[in-house]
Amino acid sequence: MEISIDGPRLVLRGDLDGRSTQEVRAALYDRLGACDGDVVVDLTEVTAADVIGLRVLAAASRYAGRRGRRIVLRGAGGGIRRLLHLSHLVRVVELERSLEGAEGG
């Protein structure tokens, strides 16, 4: 997993799975501590994900929510979205609405 930081935005590249959870967790909580407002996690370049990796995002989302903040997931592909629905984690995380979906209304 490669993580790039751009202000309140984290860009994840590679596999979001059990092996990357510690690194992703540390980066998420670092951004929550260092930035005001929402944190955006860009998943566009995530090649694979599992429930363990997605649970890290859900736990950080809960943590942020208790502090009046949000973690917004950007660029979640179909596989990640399916896994979020199957695991019921979609109830906990916030997916950024695509421009296509917002315009098609």
- Two tokens at 58? 């859900």
- Any idea what the CATH number is for the domain that residue 39 is in? 3.30.750.24
- Two tokens at 46? 């995530």
- How many residues does this entry show for the chain? 105
| Average model confidence (pLDDT) across the chain | 93
pLDDT at 104 over 70: no
Kindly tell me the burial class for residue 50, based on how many C-beta atoms sit within 10 Å of its own C-beta (0-12, 13-18, 19 or more): middle
Domain interval for residue 19: 2-98
- The answer as to whether 19 is a domain residue is yes
pLDDT at 99: 55
Average of pLDDT values for 59-82?
Answer: 97
pLDDT digits (tens, 9 = 90+) for 43-61: 999 999 999 999 999 999 9
Work out the percent of the chain whose per-residue pLDDT is above 90.
Answer: 91
pLDDT at 90 over 80: yes
Average of pLDDT values for 71-75?
Answer: 98
Give CA separation, 40 vs 6, 36, 86, in Å.
10, 12, 23
- The answer as to whether 21 is a domain residue is yes
Average of pLDDT values for 62-68?
Answer: 96
- The answer as to whether 104 is a domain residue is no
The number of distinct structural domains making up the chain is 1
